[in-house]
């Protein structure tokens, strides 16, 4: 589902309860996060709806490298020839997106009634089986030299290298999973950090809200 221009030149796409974005600047595009593997179809549909082509894409930037954020990143890298950017600390996750650190076991959450529809949708869309990313470029801080010029806001806790992206010109913060309004592990709604089943260091995640 494409929601164009949530802010000027910022286009939101939602697949399987997961948000990712297209940043449009001077006719060029940055993909922020890469949804689930089946999001590739949403990506090509979004380009068509926006009157853009695959050749307009310059980069993929990941807020973090969990399985539901890297879905089509490797396909974009291989087929479009664009770099995939990720924070230094999340590079290991790009090779094994399901190998993430977490404070609590995941199994009890997977049978939570509130989480069942979300987990079913993620499974249907092959979210748990994204291809590893063969090659990445790393960032740590500053303003990224990609369309939209997002400024890196280091916000670890959900993963060790989680970053949010601030689009200063538009007053927009793409928070990744530093804060969410729907927890896929509990089904809980409202502003919160993600359950410890998918959070590496919950206390650090709470501290990162100050940076946001």
Please report the domains of the chain, with CATH numbers, ordered by start residue.
Answer: 2-207 (3.60.15.10)
Q: Quote the distance between the C-alpha of residue 6 and its chain's center.
A: 17
Cβ–Cβ < 8 Å for 60, 135: no
Separation in Å, CA 124 to CA 118, 152, 173, 182 = 10, 32, 30, 19
Question: Please, are residues 176 and 155 in contact by the beta-carbon 8 Å criterion?
Answer: yes
Compute, in degrees rounded to 10, the torsion defined by CA atoms 112, 209, 154, 161. Answer: -20
Residues 6+ apart with CB under 8 A from 99: 92, 93
Q: What is the pLDDT of residues 147-201, one digit of tens each?
A: 999 999 999 999 999 999 999 999 999 999 999 999 999 999 999 999 999 999 9
Q: The whole model's pTM is what?
A: 0.96
CB of 162 closer than 8 Å to CB of 207: no
Backbone angles phi, psi at 64, to 5 degrees: -165, 175
112 in helix, strand or coil?
coil
Tens of pLDDT along 49-89? Answer: 999 999 999 999 999 999 999 999 999 999 999 999 999 99
């Amino acid at each position: 589902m494409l929601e164009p221009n949530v802010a000027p030149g910022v286009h939101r796409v939602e697949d399987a309860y997961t948000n990712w974005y297209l940043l449009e600047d001077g006719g060029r595009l940055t993909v922020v996060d890469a949804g689930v593997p089946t999001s590739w179809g949403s990506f090509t549909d979004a380009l068509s709806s926006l009157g853009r082509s695959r050749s307009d894409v310059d980069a993929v930037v990941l807020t973090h490298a969990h399985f539901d954020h890297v879905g089509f990143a490797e396909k974009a890298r291989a087929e479009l020839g664009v770099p995939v950017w990720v924070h230094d600390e999340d590079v290991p996750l790009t090779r094994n997106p399901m190998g993430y650190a977490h404070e609590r076991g995941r199994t009890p959450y997977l049978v939570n009634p509130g989480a069942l529809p979300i987990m079913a949708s993620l499974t249907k869309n092959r979210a748990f089986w994204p291809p590893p990313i063969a090659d990445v470029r790393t960032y740590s801080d500053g303003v990224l030299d990609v369309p939209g010029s997002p400024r890196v806001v280091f916000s670890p806790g959900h993963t060790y290298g989680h970053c949010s992206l601030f689009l200063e010109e538009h007053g927009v913060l793409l928070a990744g999973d530093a804060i969410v309004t729907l927890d896929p592990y509990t089904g809980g709604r409202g502003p919160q950090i993600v359950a410890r089943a998918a959070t590496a260091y919950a206390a650090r995640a709470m501290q990162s809200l100050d940076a946001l």
